[in-house]
Amino acid sequence: MYDDIAKSKLNPRPGVIINHPNGSDVYAGVPKDYTGEHVTAANLYAVLLGDKSAVKGGSGKVVNSGPNDRIFFYYSDHGGPGVLGMPNMPYLYGKDLIEVLKKKYAAGTYKEMVLYIEACESGSVFEGLMPENLNIYVTTASNAEESSWGTYCPGMDPPPPSEYITCLGDLYSVAWMEDSESHNLKK
């Protein structure tokens, strides 16, 4: 995570992040391996591929997976046609991400992978590019031509606490996270 929300001067609750109007702090205790200038597409690719030598900065942690592992990958940022935002340039381009996923598959370092992508036009990153034989399930917040939408925004029901002038989350992410919290995912 870029890590610019909790300590922002615009945050009405310094050091705290909430994602529900009545929610508790979801920031405290969260491990942060890559923040600020170390949040780059190159580092993301290196982490996913398990390539410690290619990582620049951060903790150096990578996905050290084997052939029987299941990988869950969640990404949230802005998006556009064929691209996902990154706080540091260059952006993450669909064709580059697909090449990384192909390399990961060829290396035999996972059994199954699930990607949840939260961004406007996030479907465009995979549409017509994603091979069907990689044992990867992808779900996106939007198709190739639509926006992703905020939720718990001022004027919505329920609204965020009165001191907030922003949305607390994106509808897609909030929906699957709240659903996951209401079920035993280990069954």
pTM: 0.93
Cβ atoms within 10 Å, residue 82: 19
- 99-109 pLDDT, tens digit per residue, is 999 999 999 99
- Residue 163 pLDDT > 90, yes or no? yes
Q: pLDDT tens, 80-123? A: 999 999 999 999 999 999 999 999 999 999 999 999 999 999 99
Q: Which helix (H) or strand (E) holds 74?
A: strand 70-76
User: Of these residues, 20, 120, 153, 167, which one is catalytic?
Assistant: 120
Alpha helices in 11-75, H assignment, sequence order: 41-49
Query: How many helices and strands, by DSSP H and E, does the chain display?
Result: 3, 8
- Per-residue pLDDT at 168: 98
Model pLDDT for residues 174-186, shown as the tens digit of each residue: 999 999 999 988 8
Which percentage of the chain shows pLDDT scores above 70? Answer: 100
Nearest to 42 by CA among 4, 83, 97: 97
Joined together, the tokens standing for residue 153 give 């925004």
Residue from 20, 38, 78, 183 carrying the catalytic annotation? 78
The pLDDT value recorded for residue 1 is 86
The yes-or-no answer on residue 78 being catalytic is yes
38 is known as an active-site residue:
no
Question: What pLDDT digit, counting tens, does each position of 8-62 carry?
Answer: 999 999 999 999 999 999 999 999 999 999 999 999 999 999 999 999 999 999 9
Average pLDDT over residues 160-186: 95
Inter-CA distances, 124 with 16, 47, 85, 91, 134, Å: 33, 23, 13, 14, 18
| Relative orientation angle of helices 94-106 and 41-49, to the nearest 10 degrees | 20
151 and 182 Cβ atoms separated by less than 8 Å: no
Question: Which pair of structure tokens corresponds to residue 70?
Answer: 């299941």
What is the reported pLDDT for 187?
Answer: 83
At 114 the pLDDT is 98
